[in-house]
Amino acid sequence: MKNPQISLKLSIFATLIKYIETEMTIQEAVEARHRERKYCHCDEPMHIPGYMMGAMMPCIVLGVIPAIVALFIGSLPLLAWGIFFIAAAAGDVWMTWLLTKENPKSMVLDHPSEAGFYIIEENNA
């Protein structure tokens, strides 16, 4: 099992190495490290229902289903796994909740670098 303290130290170490190698300020190194984080996103606009279904899949497959199975078989580690991934998907659940207020016929486009999206309304002129 990975030690979270070691992971944090390695992340800080990688940021400091970037700072030393490129002669940037520590703040610039931290910001550059933050920009390197990868998010899964789609480059093409999608209809809102399909986007919502895709956004909720990690929560359902990695969180809800294992938690339900854990309750039936009495597995505490599997229950902890499910709860962890349900919590990890909080951002996806929140984005899906925001999309429930939009017109389902509209299109949604992921923001290219941040967690967020654009709504593309369909003009029926």
Q: How far apart are CA 28 and CA 20, in angstroms?
A: 12
Phi, psi of 29 (to 5 degrees): -65, -40
d(CA 121, CA 125): 12
pLDDT digits (tens, 9 = 90+) for 1-13: 444 444 444 555 5
- Does position 112 have pLDDT exceeding 70, yes or no? yes
What is the average pLDDT across 120-124? 74
- Is the per-residue pLDDT at 22 higher than 70? no
DSSP bridge partners of 108: 46, 119
Instruction: Enumerate the domain spans of the chain.
Output: 4-35, 46-120
Question: What Cα–Cα distance (Å) separates residue 11 from each residue in 19, 83, 97, 107, 110?
Answer: 12, 25, 32, 37, 27
Which amino acid is present at 101?
A: K
pLDDT band at 84 (very low <50, low <70, confident <90, very high): very high
3 state DSSP class of 42: coil
Q: What is the pTM of this model?
A: 0.63
pLDDT in tens, 27-83: 565 565 555 555 566 778 888 998 899 889 989 999 999 999 999 999 999 999 999
